[in-house]
Amino acid sequence: MQTQLAGLWPPASTPFANDGSVDKARLVSHCRTLLDEGSTGLAILGTTSEANSLTLDERRGVIEACVDAGIPATQLLPGTGACAIDDAAALTRYAGELGCAGVLLLPPFYYKNLSDDGIFAFIAKVIERAGPKVPQIMLYHFPQMAAAGFSIPLIGRLIKAFPGVVVGMKDSSGDAANTKAVIEAYPDFAVFPGAEVYLLPALQWGAAGCISATANINARGISDLIAKWKTPEAAALQEALVAIRRSFDGFVTVPAVKAVVAAKYRDDVWRNVRPPNLPLTETERQTLLAKPAVAALLEAVAA
């Protein structure tokens, strides 16, 4: 069964009020803006969303806030990763019961030197305990952050063991060769690069779309390339995406994205992050906002 998951699914940043609580009103407003700017759906509760700095109740609350505000559950792809099997299963089950498009599932990300057998056993238990309404599962491959990942043989085992359930992967390895290899090994598997820097070739190889941190501030540009990747404009669109993404090099991604979101909305509350993340210093913020590609993007938004 081939998944219908495709297009741009931004890992929506989570706004925090000045008291540190999740600001659901700003969250919903931001999610609506991302959809208005061409996103297919929303990969809420991802790494850029600071999901692992939220309690399970807060993560449920983020999903619930979106649905209660009228965003269809079918446009939500929440991250449900956790080191405890039952925590990951509970969030996955909750997403399935609401009718979410699917979930993004990390491997257990604390233990090191895990075997494929161990990761397979973990994912299998999560699926089993999520119950009969288990949603489609997108594997979340981010080895440099999680210290564990999904090898190509392991992906094949999971597809075979859970047909119609394990249907795709976000590849945040930053390794274009790995993205291409997964697509070639499993042509009906929905593979999403975790950054837009090689999105055009990935789409040419057969990628389903993109799930990128900087979609929080450039959803229109990324969705435009996804719509036009077969046209003569594609190379120029890709070049523009790379210029924006590379502007973030040298900055911590989460607070840097939030600094630009804050500038876009002219709302400094958006600069709030949860420790261990810290907001950019004022010097860092000014340096980032002055980057030519970022400045041009913000100028276009203000126009």
Domains and CATH numbers, the chain: 7-230 (3.20.20.70)
Among residues 169, 170, 166, 148, the alpha carbon closest in space to that of 158 is found at 166
- The Cα–Cα gap between 211 and 283 comes to 29
Mean pLDDT across the stretch 108-137?
Answer: 96
Express each pLDDT in 49-83 by its tens digit.
999 999 999 999 999 999 999 999 999 999 999 99
Sorting pLDDT into bands at 50, 70 and 90, what band is 301? confident
In contact, 237 and 286? CB cutoff 8 Å: no
C-alpha neighbours within 13 Å on the C-beta side of residue 122? 25
Phi and psi at residue 139, in whole multiples of 5°? -65, 140
- The Cα–Cα gap between 199 and 208 comes to 10
- Residue 1 pLDDT greater than 60, yes or no: no
Catalytic positions, written as ranges: 47, 110, 140, 170
- Residue 146 pLDDT greater than 90, yes or no: no
Question: In the block, which residue shows the tokens 């994205």?
Answer: 257
Q: Which stretch of 2-6, 93-97, 201-205, 289-293 has the lowest confidence by average pLDDT?
A: 2-6
Mean pLDDT across the stretch 99-103?
Answer: 98
- Residue 166 pLDDT greater than 80, yes or no: yes
Question: 202 pairs with which residues across the strands?
Answer: none
- Residue 3 pLDDT greater than 50, yes or no: no
Environment class of 215 (CB within 10 Å of its CB; exposed 0-12, middle 13-18, buried 19+) = buried
